[in-house]
Chain A
C-alpha cells in the first residue's frame, strides 16, 4: 500500500512537470505578447512607439528571451523563491492575486462534488429500485435536460429568474459589504448564502450523469443471486439494498470520480464569469485576453493541479472502498 502510494506520487511528480510545461507554452507559443498588446493600445490613442522603445519594454518584462529560457526562469523562481512571477496587467505579484481566489475555486469545486453525491446517490438508488415509476421518469427527464443545458445558460436563466421573481441579483459569492472584508463569521455565513447558486449550476450536469450511471449499475446488480440469498435469509430490504448491491454499484462511479471532478474544475471557469464570482475564472479570462503571461500560466497550472489532486484522491478512495483493487495494487508491487 505504501509503495503503491509512493509510485503514484512519483507519477504525479512527472504529471506536475508536464502540466507546468503545457501551462506555460500554451500562452507563450502563439504569436503576440503583452508588449504587442501595449503597442496596439497605444496606437489606438494615436501614440506610436519607436522600435527601440518596444525593445526596451520587452526587456523590462523579460519577454526578449527565448520561450524556453523564460520557462526555466519562471519555474526556477517558483521552486527556489516561491515566486510565481509578476502580473503585467495588474502590476502586482501573481501570488497576491490568486491566493484567495484559488481557495474559493477549490471550495466551490469540493462543495459541488459533495452536492452531486448527496443528491445523485439517493436519487439513483430510488430510480433503480422503483424502475419505470413516475418518480423515475421525472428524474430521467430532468437528468436529460440537465445534461443538455450548457452551464453558462443555466446560470443566465437562474440569474434571470431570481431577478424577475425575487427582485434581487444573485451574482457573486459575497454581498457588497463583505467583498473586501477580512474573514469573519459574518463573511462565512454570507459566502454560504451565496454559494448554492453556483453549486447548483455547476453540479446539475454531473448530478444527471451520476444518477444515470448509478441507476444502470444498480439495475445490473439487483437481480444477482447474492441479492436473492440475502433476501432468503430474511434481511430486511433497506439493509440488504445498502449493504450489498449499492456498495457494488458505487465502484464504477468512484472510479470515474476524477472525470467528474476535472469537469467541475473546468466548468467553474465559465460559470464564474457569468455569475461574477470572485474565483479564478474571471481572472483567468481577463489574463488570457491581455496576454498576461505569468498570471495566466500560473492559474492554468494550479487549476490542473487541482484536477490532478482530485484524481489521486479518487484513486485512494477507490482502494478504500474496493478490496479487489487493493489486492490488485498489492500485486502490482510484487512485479
Chain B
C-alpha cells in the first residue's frame, strides 16, 4: 500500500490490468485480429473473388512439412493436389489427394495481384503456392471454388471495423446524450432516462431487421456498410449513455467539480477537462465489451441476407453459404468463418473484462 501510494491513477490501472491473465490473453488476441484486418491482402493466399470451377467444395488440404525427394528428406512445406471423381450412385464429387502432384508452399511468394488498401498494387503474399498458377485451400473451397481461408481473412477487415465504427457512433451518441442527462439532471434527465428505458425494453433484432430491410439491395456496398453501422448504433447507444450518466451523477457533486464550476468554467469545459478523464477507463471498458455485440449483430443481419451483401465479404456474408443443411453436410468447413467470429468475440470479451476490473483500481 505504501508503494502503491506513489503511483499515479493510470499507473495503477495498467498495473491492475497486467495482473488479469485472461485480459492479457484477450489483448494479445485482439491485437492479432486487428493486425490481420490491417494486412488482409498480404496475408491471404488468394484474392476473395478468385475461383476455380474444378475445385468446387474442395476439402481443406493438410500441410506437410517434410518432402521426400530422390536426394533425401528436406524441409519443404507442401500440400498434395486434389483429384476428384464423381460417385455415380450419389452424384457427389469425392476428392482425393493426388500424391504425384506436390504443390510446394513458400513464404513471401508472388501470386494473384491486388491493391493494398485499394491503393498500392502488389502481388506479394505471406504464404501461398510457389507456382502462381496453383491454388491451395487450407480451409477448403466454397460452392464456386473460392478459397474459404482467404475469404475469411478478407472478411476480418469488414467485420472487425464494423464493430469499431458502430461502437464509435454509439459512443458519440452515448456520451453526448448521457452526459447531458447526467450533467443537467432534473426534467431533462427524466425525459432521457424514460427514452432509454423505452428503447431498451424493445426487442432489438426485429427493429434492426426492420430498418435493415429498408436498405435497397442496389445500394452501393460502402453506403450499405455505413447504413448498417448507423442502424446498429441507433439502439446501441442506450447502454453507454446509462453508464456515462451514472458516472456523471456520482462525479457531479465531487469537490473538484464544484470548484471548477465556481471558477467560472463553462459546462462544456468542465465536462471535457475534468469529468471525461475521470471516467475514461470505464468508458473504454464498456466500449470494448460493446464491440462483440455489434459484431454478432452485423453477422446475424448479413446472415439473414439483409445486412451486407456480396461482393462485400464479412463473416456474416460468408456464413450465408452455410445456410442450408445440404451445403453444410457436403462442406462442413463452411463453418470456419463462424469460428473466426467466436474467437474474435471471446478475445474482445476477455479484454473487456480485464479492462473493467482495471478501470477501478481501488476496489479489492
Contacts and interface: CB of A to CB of B under 8 A. Distances in A.
Contact of A304 (B203, B303, B350): B203
Interface stretch (A75-83, A116-124, A153-161): A153-161
A149 B342 contact: yes
A144 interface: yes
Contacts of B303: 152, 270
B207 A18 contact: no
B289 to A, nearest CB: 11
Contact of B198 (A15, A26, A147, A149): A15
A289 interface: yes
Contacts of A151: 300
Contacts of B204: 262, 266
A156 B201 contact: no
B203 A265 contact: yes
B342 A148 contact: yes
Nearest to A147: B349
Q: What is the predominant secondary structure among interface residues of chain B facing chain A?
A: helix
Interface in A212-256: none
Contacts of B342: 145, 148-149, 153
A304 B329 contact: no
A210 interface: no
B319 interface: yes
A265 B204 CA distance: 9
B210 A270 contact: no
Interface in B176-214: 198, 200-207, 209-211, 213-214
Interface stretch (A65-73, A86-94, A295-303): A295-303
B216 A32 contact: yes
B271 interface: no
Interface residues of A, number: 50
Interface string A266-306: 11011001100000000011001100000010011001101
Contact of A270 (B205, B207, B325, B350): B205
A308 B205 contact: no
A163 interface: yes
A164 B329 contact: yes
A113 interface: no
Interface in B274-333: 292, 296, 299-300, 303-304, 306, 319, 322-323, 325, 328-329, 332
Contacts of B319: 152-153, 156
A332 B104 CA distance: 76
Contact of A163 (B206, B214, B329, B338): B329
B162 interface: no
Nearest to B341: A150
Contact of B202 (A32, A148, A262): A262
Contacts of A262: 200-204
B335 A156 contact: yes
A299 B207 CA distance: 11
A311 B201 contact: yes
Interface of A: 15, 18-19, 22, 26-27, 30-32, 144-145, 147-153, 156-157, 159-160, 163-164, 169, 171, 258-259, 262-263, 265-267, 269-270, 273-274, 284-285, 288-289, 296, 299-300, 303-304, 306-308, 311
Given A27-B214, A150-B300, A266-B205, 8 more contacts: A31-B216, A156-B319, A160-B325, A169-B325, A263-B203, A267-B205, A284-B206, A304-B202
Interface of B: 198, 200-207, 209-211, 213-214, 216, 292, 296, 299-300, 303-304, 306, 319, 322-323, 325, 328-329, 332, 335, 338, 341-342, 345-346, 349-350
30 contacts: A22-B202, A26-B207, A27-B210, A30-B211, A32-B214, A145-B342, A149-B342, A150-B296, A150-B345, A151-B300, A152-B303, A152-B319, A153-B342, A156-B335, A157-B338, A159-B325, A160-B329, A163-B325, A164-B329, A171-B325, A262-B201, A266-B204, A267-B205, A269-B209, A270-B300, A274-B323, A288-B213, A288-B306, A303-B206, A304-B206
